């Protein structure tokens, strides 16, 4: 068997948007991913469901797997012919033991590549408003590991560090904060030198404490700073008060779970990310086209019988027109047929095909669409409704009530997804995130993914009353967007986030 290959990949400091394009592509192509505990949940969610995930994280001296076993696992997986991604927080060659992991691979002539990542030593201070160099204060930056040795003291030459005159960045040094500050002062550095400790940098949970070398340990304890965090020492720390920016964005400090199907998630995720939110895509459902759909093909063969085609989702629009083309037809065969859409997103998908929408209700739900159609359809006109196999019964119930003839054709199934991440860690650790729901089916899918996780602390931001009722039924606290649009959903999250900050 031909040996596989290993990619040593830097995941960056936490913000998913800081992952490199190459790293993202490799994750999507991987057979196996070995990841550290410092890799952000948003980045882990990018790993395809077909890839095996192996948690090899280490934190605070506790290891899921020893370094020797990690090295052997990389070798064995590559020998088995797999594409192996070793995903490490920050940059793999900056205190990441990346060199050690390549030694065994090199000995066995296993091909490998190194993909650098954005290091927390630069990115975390930047997100806190601290430039690690500034011509008015310093011209150098020095990155030091603050990791404790066996004698519970970092081994470094503090006198040399005190003489450098540049910015000092200590990674993995929070446990030795008192010792580092005292030692720098003892080595001759001014006790009033600005210093900062930065926790969970580049994520929604990031915090900064800026003080002096003398007061920083006590201030860190007062604010209960935990790990992961880095220490920055130097005059540039004093600039954080006027250069801070990350938390000033409309959704800075907010975590939002997006549950839309993968093919629809990007629009919502992009809007939230641009406003500063930490976005975690966890598609709760997947639309799967019904194969060999004889019912739809039969309907296409008798299109002249229909006066209306009614769409209740973008997925329905996409599948219908894709099948139309595969059947050897195009939009010219739809001449004279009127079109109805449940809402703006579905209407946009229809208009993208060069077709006008003749009926769209003011309120975007199945019941209101049924009432609008009952009023618009002339006697004798027949409807074709290509939609999910399990569609809302409210639409057809109202059509039946008004005697409107129709053919309800299933074109796709809605399949509940399994969670690629332990939802308990996301929901129950730290500040509970907002969860954006665009349909009742996404609520049901998310609840199924969550299993027995308590969802009562979650704020479910919902499009439509039906979606909100489903969220409430699963123990969540639902809030309904003012309008049934993605933009209104985003605006509602902003309102809630502003209220939380003010309170």
Count of residues in the chain: 503
CB atoms within 10 A of CB 495: 14
Residue at a domain's end among 415, 431, 453: 415
Are both 131 and 112 inside the same structural domain?
A: no
Tens of pLDDT, residues 265-299: 788 999 999 999 999 998 888 889 999 999 999 99
Contacts of 239 (CB under 8 A, 6+ apart): 129, 130, 131, 134
Are both 313 and 461 inside the same structural domain?
A: no
Tens of pLDDT, residues 343-384: 888 999 999 999 999 999 988 788 899 999 999 999 999 999
The alpha carbon dihedral of 146, 148, 149, 151 has a sign of positive
pLDDT in the model for residue 343: 85
Residue at a domain's end among 385, 415, 445: 415
Are both 355 and 456 inside the same structural domain?
A: no
CA distances from 77 to 32, 290, 421 (A): 8, 36, 22
pLDDT in the model for residue 378: 94
Q: How are strands ordered across the β-sheet holding 52-55? A: 52-55, 32-35, 83-88, 5-10, 112-115
Q: What CATH number does the domain containing 497 carry?
A: 3.40.50.10090
pLDDT in the model for residue 45: 87
pLDDT in the model for residue 451: 83
DSSP-assigned letter for residue 430: S
Q: What CATH number does the domain containing 140 carry?
A: 3.30.950.10
pLDDT in the model for residue 491: 96
Cα atoms found within 13 Å of the Cα of residue 106, Cβ hemisphere only: 9
Are both 162 and 236 inside the same structural domain?
A: yes
pLDDT in the model for residue 453: 85
Domain that holds residue 278: 255-284+417-502
Give me the residues of the chain with pLDDT under 50, please: 60
Are both 134 and 234 inside the same structural domain?
A: yes
CB atoms within 10 A of CB 430: 13
Question: Is residue 499 packed enough to be buried (19+ CB in 10 Å), middle (13-18) or exposed (0-12)?
Answer: exposed
pLDDT in the model for residue 154: 60
CB atoms within 10 A of CB 221: 12
Q: What CATH number does the domain containing 41 carry?
A: 3.40.1010.10
Are both 395 and 439 inside the same structural domain?
A: no
Question: Which residue in 84, 37, 96, 90 sits closest to 63, CA to CA?
Answer: 37
Q: How far apart are CA 177 and CA 183, in angstroms?
A: 10
Are both 165 and 23 inside the same structural domain?
A: no
Q: How far apart are CA 323 and CA 308, in angstroms?
A: 18
Greatest Cα pair distance in the chain: 93
Contacts of 315 (CB under 8 A, 6+ apart): 261, 287, 388, 411, 412
Question: Which residue in 104, 32, 39 sits closest to 67, CA to CA?
Answer: 104
Any idea which residues carry the catalytic annotation? 36, 58, 172
pLDDT in the model for residue 148: 61
pLDDT in the model for residue 61: 54
Bridge partners, residue 386, by sequence: 409
- How many domains, the chain? 4
Are both 240 and 387 inside the same structural domain?
A: no
């Amino acid at each position: 068997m031909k040996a596989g290959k290993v990619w040593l990949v830097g995941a960056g400091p936490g913000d998913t948007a800081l992952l490199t394009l190459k790293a993202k592509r490799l994750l999507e192509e991987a057979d196996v991913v070995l990841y550290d505990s410092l890799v952000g949940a948003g980045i882990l969610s990018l790993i395809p469901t077909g890839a095996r995930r192996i948690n090899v994280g280490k934190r605070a001296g506790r290891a899921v797997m020893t370094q020797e076993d990690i090295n052997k696992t990389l070798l064995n997986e590559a020998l088995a012919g797999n594409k192996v991604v070793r995903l490490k927080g920050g940059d793999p060659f900056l205190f990441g033991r990346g060199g050690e992991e390549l030694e065994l691979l090199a000995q066995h002539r296993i091909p490998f590549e190194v993909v650098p990542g954005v290091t927390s030593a630069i990115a975390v201070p930047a997100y806190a408003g601290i430039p690690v160099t500034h011509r008015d204060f310093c011209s150098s930056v020095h990155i030091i590991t603050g990791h404790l040795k066996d004698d519970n003291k970092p081994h470094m030459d503090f006198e040399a560090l005190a003489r450098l005159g540049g910015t000092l960045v200590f990674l993995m040094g929070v446990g030795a904060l008192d010792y580092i500050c005292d030692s720098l002062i003892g080595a001759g550095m001014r006790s009033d030198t600005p210093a900062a400790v930065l926790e969970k940098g580049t994520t929604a949970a990031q915090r900064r404490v800026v003080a002096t070398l003398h007061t920083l340990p006590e201030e860190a304890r007062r604010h209960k700073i935990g790990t992961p965090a880095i220490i920055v020492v130097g005059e540039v720390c004093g600039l954080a008060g006027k250069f801070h920016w990350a938390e000033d964005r409309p959704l800075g400090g907010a975590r939002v779970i997006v549950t839309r199907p993968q093919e629809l998630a990007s629009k919502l995720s992009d809007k939230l990310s641009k406003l500063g939110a930490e976005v975690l895509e966890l598609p709760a459902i997947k639309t799967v086209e019904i194969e060999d759909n004889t019912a739809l093909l039969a309907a296409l063969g008798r299109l002249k019988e229909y006066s209306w085609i009614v769409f209740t989702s973008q997925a329905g629009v996409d599948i219908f027109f894709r099948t139309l083309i595969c059947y050897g037809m195009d939009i010219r065969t739809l001449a004279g047929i009127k079109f109805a859409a449940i809402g703006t997103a579905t209407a946009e998908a229809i208009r993208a095909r060069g077709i006008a929408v003749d009926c769209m209700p003011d309120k975007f739900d199945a019941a209101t669409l049924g009432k609008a159609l009952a009023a618009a359809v002339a006697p004798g006109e027949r409807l074709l409704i290509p939609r999910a196999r399990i569609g809302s019964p409210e639409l057809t119930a109202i059509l039946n009530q008004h005697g409107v003839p129709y053919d309800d054709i299933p074109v796709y199934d809605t399949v509940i997804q399994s969670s690629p991440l332990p939802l308990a860690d996301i929901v129950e650790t730290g500040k509970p995130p907002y969860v954006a729901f665009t349909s009742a089916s996404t609520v049901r899918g998310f609840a199924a993914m969550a299993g027995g996780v308590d969802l009562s602390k979650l704020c479910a931001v919902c499009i439509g009353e039906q979606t909100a009722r489903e969220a409430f039924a699963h123990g969540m606290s639902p809030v309904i967007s003012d309008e049934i649009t993605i933009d209104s959903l985003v605006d509602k999250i902003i309102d809630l986030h502003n209220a939380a900050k003010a309170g």
